[in-house]
């Protein structure tokens, strides 16, 4: 991710004053029963709050049972429990909204110049009419000149321009967008800063990329993910179990009072307090905040996910398919060495190679000229003198070159040049053949150069593996993800690069069909496959992959096929996505464990208190030796409410993930959240009890 990102999309502090005050207000708005009913665990607490409030009002009328202050205390803290849960959700949403607001700034009303007669395109001078961006329809052509904002997502059909995409990516350096090829996609809300473009609209207003991104960070379109649904079922079950436990405790208590002949049956406020303490309120309150915060983290990492499902699936990825070019290696191969044939001076070879590459505007061609210049100080020749005739590369001949002054200079694939010189009566010298094999074996690409019937030598082209990529792959391996490099190279070259980059496997001579087949094969074996890609020919494979991250620099087709788009166009971004997916699950798991483990201490606090009058002997279970029955129950309820607030930062930040293997992770988390969850409430409840006694409320 670029360092500049942080500037463009301001990421507020966790407890930014503005967000907090808005969240507090929303906490009260969320008391609407229609909102509450969506979360079964908290809805039960909500009902409990209403009931205890009614019971509190009743204490004024009926002078028996629990004291006014005790019932008021329970009721107030139950309301706090509900409000704290609302607050957790509201603050997570607040962070999303803050992000969305900064995005929306770039989405001001845009006027588009629609081309009236698409069949008569005249470049920059096409006849246009001004319309609002919202009136554009699919397939409309619009002209965008320097300084104007792109009105909608689309494909460049004519022109080339530099575009400032910082509104979306946060990257301030402009990017080039041009018709044809893999750089033809433009995004609504970005700005053309030089030249002009004619763009075909591919997405309607309100459904653009930016809109989807805003919807995602605002959580408007957030749907529950499969694991979240399963967890919600488990939590609802636990809630139901505790409802049964508490509901049957009343008859048990009545029976105990009857047969022991002393004390009074457990009161309703105490029963409700016990239920709320036992129900998994901690995780129930934080569950939706965890989900929203996960999506926020994702958008902070500059990734747009089409669904939360894909983020969760990212945590389960077994296999990652990566395109070699641009992902593992720098975009293009570069000439690194000249291997001259026997009896040929290296400079002679370099001169011929230089001449042959003169008109070759590809990056490879340029790199040959640069190498020749660096090695022998060769400059551009006076071309007028020689009157060259450039032969461009063709797929049929598989070579290119130049003809001048009766000489034919050619460069190309070994087999192509060999058959070419044989036709002229020449041959491929043995040391050249050896050099070719050596180069191929080391992962390079040999280009043989000939002059007339004579082979001069070989140019070694090499893929340059990106710095630091090996470490990234090692990290993926630690996470349990297998990396597979996809390349059009021959197997020999592919193997060498694979070894250098440290990927686990490779697919050489890959065609779109072969990629698709590979993904299917892994999926048949039960693996979850992720793929990153940018080109149109990646689209079928992206559509097949379980997690498909399209590069924002890629084509529209690739972006449509993927279920995530990386705005930074960084193929190793998947590591961050996997991290976020795993953190999402781990945070839920850890807080569920913590929540359940808490119940043990709460039993020891509340049960002896609840039956103090019927069975004084149960006082032996009061391990914390709390001040009084009322203080014991109140302390448990207060602890239960405060722990929600205490865990909000963890819910927003997520439990940290380290790639140490599943067993180690489980052991660590069991110790921290399981054992911790068992012990913390003993200390917490005791502390609250001491404070209540100190202020004389016990």
Partner 1 sequence: MISNFLQLLIYFSVLLVCVKPLGLYMAKVYGDKKPTWLGPFMRVERWCYRLCGIDDKVEMHWKTYATAVLSFSLVSFLSVYAIQRLQGWLPLNPESLTGVSPDSSFNTAVSFVTNTNWQGYGGESTMSYLTQMLALCVQNFVSAGVGMAVLIALIRGFARKNSTTIGNFWIDLTRGTVYILLPLSLVLSIVLVSQGVVQTLSSYQAVTLIEPTSDNTGQPVLTQKIAVGPAASQIAIKQLGTNGGGFFNVNSAHPLENPTPFSNFVQMLSILLIPAALCYTFGELVGDRRQGWTILAAMSVILLPLVVAVCLAEQAGSPAFESLGVDQLASVSQSGGNMEGKETRFGIVNSALWAVVTTAASNGSVNSMHDSFSPLGGLIPMWLMQLGEVVFGGVGSGLYGMLVFALVAVFIAGLMVGRTPEYLGKKIGAFEIKMAAIVILLPCGSVLLGTACAVLSAQGKATVFNPGPHGFSEVLYAFSSASNNNGSAFAGLGANTPFYNGILGIAMLIGRFGVILPVLGIAGSLAAKKAIPVGPGTLPTHTPLFVVLLVTVVIVIGALSFFPALALGPIVEHLMLQSHMLQSNR
Chain positions 563 to 582 lying near partner 1, rule: CB under 8 A, are 581-582
Q: Which residues contact 443 (CB under 8 A, 6 or more apart)?
A: 462, 463, 492, 493, 494, 495, 496, 497, 499, 500
Of 37-45, 154-162, 224-232, 332-340: span binding partner 1 (CB under 8 A) = 224-232
Residues 254-293 within binding reach of partner 1 (CB under 8 A): 254-256, 258-260, 278
Q: Cβ(87)–Cβ(645) under 8 Å? A: yes
Selected from 117, 237, 362, 394, the binder of partner 1 by CB under 8 A is: 237
DSSP labels for 272-332? HHHHHHHS-HHHHHHHHHHHHHHHHHHHHTTEEES-HHHHHHHTT--EEEEETBTTTB-SS
> Whose CA is closest to 175, among 189, 191, 159, 188?
191
Query: Measured from the CB of residue 656, what is the shortest distance to partner 1 in angstroms?
Result: 11
Q: What are phi and psi of 486, to 5 degrees?
A: -110, 130
The answer to whether residue 479 forms part of the interface with partner 1 (CB under 8 A) is yes
Residues 609-638 within binding reach of partner 1 (CB under 8 A): 611, 615, 617-618, 620-621
The answer to whether residue 480 forms part of the interface with partner 1 (CB under 8 A) is yes
Secondary structure class of 196 (helix, strand, coil): strand
Residues 335-354 within binding reach of partner 1 (CB under 8 A): none
Question: What CA–CA distance (Å, rounded) separates 558 from 20?
Answer: 39
Of 252-260, 295-303, 534-542, 558-566: span binding partner 1 (CB under 8 A) = 252-260
The three-state (H, E, C) secondary structure of 61-75, written as one string: HCCCCCCHHHHHHHH
Residue among 222 and 354 whose Cβ is closer to partner 1:
222
Question: What CA–CA distance (Å, rounded) separates 426 from 412?
Answer: 16
As annotated, the active-site residues are: 323
The answer to whether residue 657 forms part of the interface with partner 1 (CB under 8 A) is yes
E strands, 350-442, in order: 389-391, 399-404, 407-412
48 HSE (CA, 13 A, CB side)? 34
The answer to whether residue 663 forms part of the interface with partner 1 (CB under 8 A) is yes
Query: Measured from the CB of residue 47, what is the shortest distance to partner 1 in angstroms?
Result: 19
Residue 152: Cβ within 10 Å count? 28
Of 228-236, 492-500, 540-548, 644-652: span binding partner 1 (CB under 8 A) = 228-236
Q: Which residues contact 115 (CB under 8 A, 6 or more apart)?
A: 121, 126, 127, 128, 140, 141, 142, 143, 198
Q: Cβ(183)–Cβ(233) under 8 Å? A: no
Query: Measured from the CB of residue 219, what is the shortest distance to partner 1 in angstroms?
Result: 21
Question: What CA–CA distance (Å, rounded) separates 461 from 459?
Answer: 6
The answer to whether residue 39 forms part of the interface with partner 1 (CB under 8 A) is no
Query: Measured from the CB of residue 316, what is the shortest distance to partner 1 in angstroms?
Result: 5
Angle at 668 between CA 665 and CA 671, to 5 degrees: 145
Q: What are phi and psi of 126, to 5 degrees?
A: -60, 150
Q: Which residues contact 536 (CB under 8 A, 6 or more apart)?
A: 182, 555, 557, 558
First CA to last CA distance, the chain: 54
Residue among 68 and 240 whose Cβ is closer to partner 1:
240
Query: Measured from the CB of residue 585, what is the shortest distance to partner 1 in angstroms?
Result: 5
> Whose CA is closest to 269, among 76, 41, 39, 84?
76
Question: What CA–CA distance (Å, rounded) separates 697 from 220?
Answer: 44
Residue among 137 and 667 whose Cβ is closer to partner 1:
667
The answer to whether residue 211 forms part of the interface with partner 1 (CB under 8 A) is no
Residue among 256 and 563 whose Cβ is closer to partner 1:
256
Of 30-38, 160-168, 247-255, 492-500: span binding partner 1 (CB under 8 A) = 247-255
Of 169-177, 509-517, 563-571, 587-595: span binding partner 1 (CB under 8 A) = 587-595
> Whose CA is closest to 458, among 442, 476, 445, 471?
445
E strands, 482-602, in order: 482-486, 505-507, 529-533, 547-551, 564-566
Selected from 352, 510, 590, 685, the binder of partner 1 by CB under 8 A is: 590
The answer to whether residue 543 forms part of the interface with partner 1 (CB under 8 A) is no
Query: Measured from the CB of residue 674, what is the shortest distance to partner 1 in angstroms?
Result: 7
Query: Measured from the CB of residue 607, what is the shortest distance to partner 1 in angstroms?
Result: 5
Query: Measured from the CB of residue 234, what is the shortest distance to partner 1 in angstroms?
Result: 5
Of 63-71, 149-157, 221-229, 417-425: span binding partner 1 (CB under 8 A) = 221-229
Selected from 116, 127, 176, 244, the binder of partner 1 by CB under 8 A is: 244
Residue among 497 and 586 whose Cβ is closer to partner 1:
586
Question: What CA–CA distance (Å, rounded) separates 149 from 187?
Answer: 10
Of 18-26, 214-222, 308-316, 365-373: span binding partner 1 (CB under 8 A) = 308-316
Question: What CA–CA distance (Å, rounded) separates 695 from 698?
Answer: 8
Angle between helices 574-610 and 662-669 (to 10 degrees): 30
Query: Measured from the CB of residue 97, what is the shortest distance to partner 1 in angstroms?
Result: 27
Query: Measured from the CB of residue 686, what is the shortest distance to partner 1 in angstroms?
Result: 20
Q: What are phi and psi of 174, to 5 degrees?
A: -70, 155
Selected from 73, 189, 269, 315, the binder of partner 1 by CB under 8 A is: 315
Residue among 123 and 616 whose Cβ is closer to partner 1:
616
Selected from 586, 652, 680, 692, the binder of partner 1 by CB under 8 A is: 586
Q: Cβ(88)–Cβ(282) under 8 Å? A: no
Query: Measured from the CB of residue 529, what is the shortest distance to partner 1 in angstroms?
Result: 12
Secondary structure class of 155 (helix, strand, coil): strand
The answer to whether residue 667 forms part of the interface with partner 1 (CB under 8 A) is yes
The answer to whether residue 694 forms part of the interface with partner 1 (CB under 8 A) is no
The answer to whether residue 526 forms part of the interface with partner 1 (CB under 8 A) is yes
Q: Which residues contact 617 (CB under 8 A, 6 or more apart)?
A: none
Of 37-45, 297-305, 347-355, 522-530: span binding partner 1 (CB under 8 A) = 522-530
Tell me how many residues contact partner 1 (CB under 8 A): 76
Residues 672-691 within binding reach of partner 1 (CB under 8 A): 673-674
The answer to whether residue 474 forms part of the interface with partner 1 (CB under 8 A) is no
The answer to whether residue 233 forms part of the interface with partner 1 (CB under 8 A) is yes
Secondary structure class of 480 (helix, strand, coil): coil
Query: Measured from the CB of residue 318, what is the shortest distance to partner 1 in angstroms?
Result: 5
Residue among 65 and 589 whose Cβ is closer to partner 1:
589
Selected from 104, 337, 375, 527, the binder of partner 1 by CB under 8 A is: 527
The answer to whether residue 236 forms part of the interface with partner 1 (CB under 8 A) is yes
Query: Measured from the CB of residue 44, what is the shortest distance to partner 1 in angstroms?
Result: 15
Of 91-99, 343-351, 371-379, 472-480: span binding partner 1 (CB under 8 A) = 472-480
The answer to whether residue 72 forms part of the interface with partner 1 (CB under 8 A) is no
Residue among 117 and 260 whose Cβ is closer to partner 1:
260
Secondary structure class of 192 (helix, strand, coil): strand
Secondary structure class of 571 (helix, strand, coil): helix
The answer to whether residue 331 forms part of the interface with partner 1 (CB under 8 A) is no
Residue among 373 and 477 whose Cβ is closer to partner 1:
477
The answer to whether residue 670 forms part of the interface with partner 1 (CB under 8 A) is yes
The answer to whether residue 639 forms part of the interface with partner 1 (CB under 8 A) is no
Question: What CA–CA distance (Å, rounded) separates 457 from 375?
Answer: 16
Residue 117's Cα: distance from chain center in Å? 42
């Amino acid at each position: 991710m670029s360092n500049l990102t942080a500037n463009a999309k301001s990421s507020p502090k966790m407890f930014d004053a503005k967000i907090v005050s808005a969240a507090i207000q929303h906490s009260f708005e969320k008391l609407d029963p229609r909102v509450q009913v969506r979360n079964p665990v908290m809805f039960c607490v909500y009902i409990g709050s209403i009931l205890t409030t009614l019971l509190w009002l009743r204490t004024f009328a009926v002078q028996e049972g629990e004291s006014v202050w005790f019932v008021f205390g329970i009721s107030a803290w139950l309301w706090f429990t509900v409000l704290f849960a609302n607050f957790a959700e509201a603050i997570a949403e607040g962070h999303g909204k803050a992000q969305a607001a900064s995005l929306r700034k770039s989405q001001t009303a845009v006027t588009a110049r629609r081309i009236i007669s698409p069949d008569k395109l005249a470049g920059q001078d096409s006849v246009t009419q001004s319309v609002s961006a919202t009136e554009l329809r699919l397939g409309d052509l619009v002209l965008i000149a320097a300084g104007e904002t792109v009105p909608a997502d689309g494909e460049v059909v004519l022109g080339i321009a530099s575009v400032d995409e910082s509104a979306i990516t946060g990257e301030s350096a402009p990017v080039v967008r041009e018709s044809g090829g893999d750089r033809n996609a433009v995004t609504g809300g970005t700005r053309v800063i030089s030249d002009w473009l004619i763009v075909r609209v591919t997405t309607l207003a309100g459904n653009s990329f930016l809109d989807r991104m805003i919807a995602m960070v605002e959580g408007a379109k957030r749907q529950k993910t499969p694991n979240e649904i399963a967890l919600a079922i488990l939590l609802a079950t636990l809630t139901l179990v505790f409802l049964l436990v508490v509901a049957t405790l009343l008859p048990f208590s009545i029976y105990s009072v009857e047969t022991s002949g002393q004390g009074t049956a457990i009161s309703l406020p105490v029963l409700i307090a016990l239920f709320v303490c036992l129900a998994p309120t901690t995780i129930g309150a934080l569950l939706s905040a965890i989900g929203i915060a996960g999506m926020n983290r994702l958008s902070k990492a500059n990734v747009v996910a089409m669904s939360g499902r894909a983020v969760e699936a990212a945590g389960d990825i077994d296999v990652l398919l990566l395109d070699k070019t641009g992902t593992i290696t720098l975009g293009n191969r570069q000439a690194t060495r000249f291997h001259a044939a026997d009896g040929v001076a290296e400079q002679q070879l370099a001169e011929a190679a230089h001449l042959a590459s003169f008109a070759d505007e590809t990056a490879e061609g340029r790199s040959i000229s640069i190498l020749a210049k660096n090695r022998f100080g060769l400059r551009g020749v006076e071309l007028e003198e020689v009157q060259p005739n450039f032969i461009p590369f063709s797929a049929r001949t598989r070579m290119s070159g130049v003809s001048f002054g009766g000489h034919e200079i050619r460069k190309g694939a070994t087999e192509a040049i060999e058959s070419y010189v044989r036709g002229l009566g020449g041959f491929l010298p043995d040391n050249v053949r050896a050099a070719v094999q050596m180069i191929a074996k080391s992962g390079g690409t040999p280009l043989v150069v000939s002059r007339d019937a004579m082979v001069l030598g070989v140019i070694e082209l090499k893929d340059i593996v990106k710095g630091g990529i090996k470490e990234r792959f090692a990290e993926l391996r630690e996470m349990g993800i297998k990396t597979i490099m996809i390349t059009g190279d021959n197997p020999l070259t592919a193997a060498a690069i694979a070894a250098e980059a440290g990927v686990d496997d490779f697919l050489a001579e890959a065609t779109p069909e072969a990629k698709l087949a590979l993904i299917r094969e892994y999926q048949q074996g039960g693996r979850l496959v992720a793929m990153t890609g940018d080109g149109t020919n990646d689209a079928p494979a992206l559509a097949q992959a379980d997690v498909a991250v399209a590069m924002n620099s890629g084509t529209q087709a690739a972006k449509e096929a993927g279920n995530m788009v990386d705005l930074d166009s960084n193929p190793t971004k998947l590591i961050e996505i996997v991290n976020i997916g795993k953190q999402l699950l781990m945070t839920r798991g850890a807080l569920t464990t913590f929540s359940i483990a808490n119940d043990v201490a709460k039993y020891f606090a509340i049960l002896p208190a609840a039956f103090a009058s019927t069975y004084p002997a149960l006082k032996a279970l009061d391990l914390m030796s709390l001040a009084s029955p009322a203080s014991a129950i109140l302390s448990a309820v207060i602890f239960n409410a405060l722990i929600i607030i205490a865990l909000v930062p963890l819910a927003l930040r997520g439990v940290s993930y380290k790639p140490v293997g599943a067993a180690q992770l489980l052991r660590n988390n069991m110790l921290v959240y399981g054992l911790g969850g068992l012990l913390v409430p003993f200390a917490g409840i005791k502390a609250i009890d001491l404070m209540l006694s100190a202020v004389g409320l016990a």
